[in-house]
C-alpha cells in the first residue's frame, strides 16, 4: 500500500462513518460461514461513495473487491489485506416495468426471481433458490437448469476502475459459463432484465423448487465447488472417485451432492475446504484425465 494504514483509515472513516469496519471477520459475510478477516470492510450508502472508494483504493494501491451475499466466496484464513466493499441493503431497490425489470446490485436474486414468478413474468425461473445478489449473479453469470443471467440481461451500469460510471449492453461483452468477462475490478451497480409477461417455464421452475431434494441446503456451503466440464457433471466425477463423505477437519464432501463442500464444524478452517478442493481435483485428474475448474471465488492470504 502506498499510503500509511492510518491515512487510508482516516479517508475511509470520512467517507463511510459507521459504515467502515476494521478487521471484519468474513465468516459473517459468506454463506460457508468461515474465513479470515478483511482489514477494511465498507458498507457504502450510495453509488457516489462506491466510486470514491474505488478511486481511493486505486490511487493508494489498496487491493479492493466487491461482494454481494458471499454465496460463492471463500476468504482464506490469513484474511484479505485490503478493502472489501459490500453492496447490501442500501443497494436493493427493484422496479418492475412493462417489459423490463430493473434491480440494484445488492437486491436478492432469488427474491427477485420469486417475485417475477408470482407476477407471471418468465426469464428468471432458474434463479429461484440461488442465494446470491443481483450483482453477484451478473458477475458470475449465475445459472441453473439451462437458464442463465446472460439470456435475460439487457443492460447494466458499472463503475470502472477509474471510478467512472458507465452503461453497458451485455452483448458488448462475452458472457460465458459462470463468467461475465466484465472489465476486471469493475463494480456492477444495477442490472436490467428483459422479462416481458408471458408463459413461465414450468419445468425449470419445478426443478428450482426441488433444490432441497438434490442439494444439501441444510448445511453451510458455497454451492457448487467446481464448474461442470463440457458434457460432464463435476459432482458425478467426484462421486466416481469415491470421495462422497470425505472429511478434512470441519469440512466434508456432501453425501447428497458431491460437488458441494460443506462446513459441518467444529473449528472449520478455509484450509480444510481448500484441501478438499485440491483432493477432488487431483483424484478426478488421475481417474478421468479431466482438470476441474473451481467455481467458487477464493481470495486472501493462506
Ligand atoms: C446453496 C447454494 C446454491 C447455489 N446454487 C447456484 C446455482 O444453482 N447456480 C449458480 O450459478 N450459482 C449458485 N450458487 C452460487 C452463488 O449463489 C452464485 O454464484 C451467486 O450469483 C453469487 O452471488 P453473491 O452476491 O453471493 O456473490 P459473492 O459470493 O458475494 O461474490 C462472487 C463474485 O462476484 C463478484 N461480485 C459480487 N457482487 C458484485 C458486484 N456488484 N460487482 C462486481 N462484482 C461482484 C465478487 O467480487 C466475486 O468475485 C449457489 C450457492 C449456494 C450457497
- 189 alpha carbon – ligand 1 mean position (Å): 15
Nearest ligand 1 atom to the CA of 178 is 11
Single out the residue in 141, 173, 204 at which a domain terminates. Answer: 204
Quote the distance between the C-alpha of residue 135 and its chain's center: 8
**Residues 97 and 80 occupy one common structural domain:** no
- For the chain, the distance separating the N- and C-terminal CA atoms, rounded to the nearest angstrom, is 19
Domain count, the chain: 3
Say what the pTM is: 0.96
Q: Is residue 301 part of a domain?
A: no
Q: Which of 177, 204, 231 is the last residue in one of the domains?
A: 204
Q: Which of 148, 178, 204 delimits the end of a domain?
A: 204
Query: 89-93, 106-110, 172-176, 262-266 — which is least confidently predicted?
Result: 172-176
Per-chain mean pLDDT for the chain: 95
Tens digits of residue pLDDT in 3-38: 566 699 999 999 999 999 999 999 999 999 999 999
pLDDT at 6: 65
14 and 27 inside one domain: yes
**Would 277 be classed as within a structural domain?**
yes
For residues 66, 87, 296, 150, the Cα torsion angle rounded to the nearest 10 degrees is: -100
Question: Is there a single domain that holds both residue 142 and residue 245?
Answer: no
Q: Is residue 279 over pLDDT 80?
A: yes
Which of 47, 67, 70, 257, when mutated, tests ligand 1's pocket best, judged by the most ligand atoms within 8 Å of its CB? 67
* Residues 6+ positions from 155 with CB-CB distance below 8 Å: 167, 168, 169, 170, 191, 192
pLDDT in tens, 128-180: 999 999 999 999 999 999 999 999 999 999 999 889 999 998 765 678 888 88
Q: Are residues 229 and 273 in the same domain?
A: yes
Give the domain range for residue 119.
91-204
Q: Are residues 95 and 82 in the same domain?
A: no
Any domain includes 302: no
Mean pLDDT of 178-183: 86
User: Do residues 96 and 79 both lie within one domain?
Assistant: no
Q: Is the dihedral of CA 158, 159, 160, 166 positive or negative?
A: positive
Q: Is 140 in the pocket of ligand 1 (CB under 6 A)?
A: yes
Residue 257 in grid coordinates: 451432492
Q: Is residue 173 part of a domain?
A: yes
User: 89 φ, ψ to 5°?
Assistant: -65, -15
**Separation between Cα atoms, residue 202 and residue 138, nearest integer Å:** 23
Amino acid at each position: 500500500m502506498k499510503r500509511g494504514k492510518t491515512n487510508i483509515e482516516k479517508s475511509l472513516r470520512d467517507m463511510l462513518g459507521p459504515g467502515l469496519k476494521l478487521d471484519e471477520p468474513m465468516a459473517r459475510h459468506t454463506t460457508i460461514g468461515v474465513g479470515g478477516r478483511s482489514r477494511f470492510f465498507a458498507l457504502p450508502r450510495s453509488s457516489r461513495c462506491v466510486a470514491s472508494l474505488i478511486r481511493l483504493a486505486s490511487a493508494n494501491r489498496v487491493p479492493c473487491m466487491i461482494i454481494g451475499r458471499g454465496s460463492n466466496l471463500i476468504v482464506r484464513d490469513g484474511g484479505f489485506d485490503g478493502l472489501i466493499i459490500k453492496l447490501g441493503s442500501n443497494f436493493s431497490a427493484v422496479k418492475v416495468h412493462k417489459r423490463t425489470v430493473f434491480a440494484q446490485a445488492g437486491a436478492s436474486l432469488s427474491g427477485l426471481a420469486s417475485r417475477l414468478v408470482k407476477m407471471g413474468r418468465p426469464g428468471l425461473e432458474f434463479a429461484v433458490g440461488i442465494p446470491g445478489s443481483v450483482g453477484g449473479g451478473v458477475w458470475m453469470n449465475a445459472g441453473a437448469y439451462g437458464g442463465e443471467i446472460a439470456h435475460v440481461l439487457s443492460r447494466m451500469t458499472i463503475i470502472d476502475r477509474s471510478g467512472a460510471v458507465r452503461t453497458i449492453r451485455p452483448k458488448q461483452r462475452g458472457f460465458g459459463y459462470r463468467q461475465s468477462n466484465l472489465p476486471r475490478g469493475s463494480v456492477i451497480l444495477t442490472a436490467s432484465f428483459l422479462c416481458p409477461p408471458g408463459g413461465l417455464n414450468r419445468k425449470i421452475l419445478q426443478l428450482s423448487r426441488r433444490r432441497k431434494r438434490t442439494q444439501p441446503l441444510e448445511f453451510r456451503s458455497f454451492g457448487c465447488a467446481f464448474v461442470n466440464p463440457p458434457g460432464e457433471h463435476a459432482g458425478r466425477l467426484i462421486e466416481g472417485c469415491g470421495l462422497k463423505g470425505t472429511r478434512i477437519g470441519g469440512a466434508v464432501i456432501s453425501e447428497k451432492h458431491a460437488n458441494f463442500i460443506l462446513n459441518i464444524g467444529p473449528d472449520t478452517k478455509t484450509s480444510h475446504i481448500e484441501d478438499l478442493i485440491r483432493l477432488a481435483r487431483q483424484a478426478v485428474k488421475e481417474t478421468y484425465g479431466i482438470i476441474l475448474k473451481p467455481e467458487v471465488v477464493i481470495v486472501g492470504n493462506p
